[in-house]
Structure 1
Amino acid sequence: SQGRDAEASAIVRDFEAAAGRVSLSPAPVIDEHGTPTQRTRVRALWAPRLRARTAALWVLWFCVNFSYYGAFIWIPTILVSQGYDLVRSFGFTLIITLAQLPGYAVAAWLIEAWGRRATLATFLAGSAVAAVFFGTASGEVAIIAAGMALSFFNLGAWGALYAATPETYPTPLRATGSGWAAGVGRIASIIAPLSVPPLLGWGGAPLLFVVFAAFFAVAVVAALTLREQRGRALDED
């Protein structure tokens, strides 16, 4: 987009040579009339060929952010409201949060073994089920087990989503598409924590986590509409 096509092609050839790959044909010039504006890029995200992908990703990012930030910011407070002292509730939260690490690791392996779409949908479905169990759990063992499951599946979904999002768009729109999807998610991360107090007032933790589970379920449907990119060229339609 800056007119440095020969330099870009040379860099790509170096990468290919280092990886032992046969050099591919140079990519066509993306924009012969100069660098596209931000407005042009955003409009391109909703072109007929890409609008379904963009809509699915925006729904995914919104739902995952809503459920994650709504749940994990408020978990210590929710546990305190159930009768656990502050130190104990933060201890539970620490144990629950540690389950995020294997969630990421398993998702990182499964996106190549199963594919992006299947991994993302599976972890989102697991998050929905775990959210219901956490919202209705009673007793320390049940709370920690359900919380760790929620943490494991939720962060695994994050890992798969971060892998799938940029691969959804062609090279000229990859950064714009990923950035806008993440930006829509940030809107949810603001709304979700503010929504927790009224939801707790209306129906307590069971209602709250059923709402989070519903958002995860919507995200599952959106994930299943994504194209599977495992083993495909990034710009392949």
Structure 2
Amino acid sequence: MWSLFVTILLLYYGVITWLPTILVNQGYPAYKAYLFATSMTAIGIAGVLAAAWLVEVVGRKWVIGASGFISSLAMVLFTMQIETPALARIWILVFGFASQVVIPAIYCYAPEVYPTLLRASGFGWASFASRIGASLVPVIFGTWLWPTLGLTNTFSIIGSLVLFSIIIMVFFGPETRGKALDQRESGDWYNNRD
């Protein structure tokens, strides 16, 4: 659970923090760079609404897995299409939507995987780990990865970490959709991974 929190929010805050700078460095005017960031955030509202519906219809694990993968892939494709503003904008919008599906889904799923006695602490520690990871974004992303490896490789590495975390969740995490929290106490969740 912690790896999901850390990797997804590392990706999200990396984009939120650095997107205007990335675009300006690629020759975009500053106002367009901020319009990209604003449009990414605006479409995220639809992503949050979609997440609220999807976690109940499809299930938490699968929503997290699909939207986490799509948000990572969108940023890799964005870096490959950055020279074409129309395509770059499409990938930013895809990222904005998918990232705002995955983040609320994680916040829904995370407390449910901990037993009642540990629920608040487990969720709190997972969230704390993500904040530590997010606080390191300026160093990891802006000082180390991007200048050394370039944008595409940077987002490919972060996307690979997200994918690794998703794979762990898919194989080892329970599906909590439609389950009562008291079923967690009896261990029934781990007998049916869906």
Same fold (TM over 0.5): yes
Structure 2: how far apart are the matches of 1:170 and 1:196?
35
Match of 1:70 in 2: 14
Structure with more of its chain in helix, by fraction: 2
Structure 2: how far apart are the matches of 1:99 and 1:222?
29
Map 1:151-190 to 2 at 5 A. 151-190=96-135
The question of 1:132 aligning with 2:132 is answered no
Answer whether contact 2:11 2:72 (CA < 8 A) is retained: no
Structure 1: how far apart are the matches of 2:110 and 2:59?
13
Match of 1:92 in 2: 36
Which segments of 5 or more consecutive residues in structure 2 lack a partner in the other structure?
Answer: 188-194
Match of 1:234 in 2: 181
Structure 2: how far apart are the matches of 1:131 and 1:220?
17
Look up the SS of the partner of 2:136 in the other structure: helix
Q: 1:161: how far off?
A: 0.3
Which segments of 5 or more consecutive residues in structure 1 lack a partner in the other structure?
Answer: 1-56
Answer whether contact 1:169 1:235 (CA < 8 A) is retained: no
Structure 1: how far apart are the matches of 2:84 and 2:121?
46
Amino acid of the residue matched to residue 144 of structure 1? Answer: R
Structure 1: how far apart are the matches of 2:118 and 2:155?
35
Map 1:16-31 to 2 at 5 A. none
Q: Percent of pairs identical after alignment?
A: 30
Q: Bigger CA drift: 171-180 or 210-219?
A: 210-219
Match of 2:190 in 1: none
The question of 1:206 aligning with 2:152 is answered yes
Amino acid of the residue matched to residue 19 of structure 2? Answer: I
- Please give the per-residue CA displacement for 1:56-82, whole angstroms capped at 9, x wherever unaligned: x11111111211111211000000000
Structure 2: how far apart are the matches of 1:154 and 1:215?
15
Amino acid of the residue matched to residue 181 of structure 2? Answer: L
**Which TM-score applies when normalising by structure 1?**
0.73
Structure 2: how far apart are the matches of 1:70 and 1:92?
15
Of 200, 211, 220, the match for 2:166: 220
Compare CA radii of gyration and give the structure with the larger one: 1
Q: 1:100: how far off?
A: 0.9
- Please give the per-residue CA displacement for 1:173-215, whole angstroms capped at 9, x wherever unaligned: 1110100000111111011221222322223221222122112
Answer whether contact 1:124 1:219 (CA < 8 A) is retained: no
Structure 1: how far apart are the matches of 2:150 and 2:131?
25
The question of 1:142 aligning with 2:142 is answered no
Structure 2: how far apart are the matches of 1:74 and 1:231?
38
Answer whether contact 1:107 1:160 (CA < 8 A) is retained: yes
Of 117, 130, 133, the match for 2:61: 117
Structure 1: how far apart are the matches of 2:92 and 2:165?
20
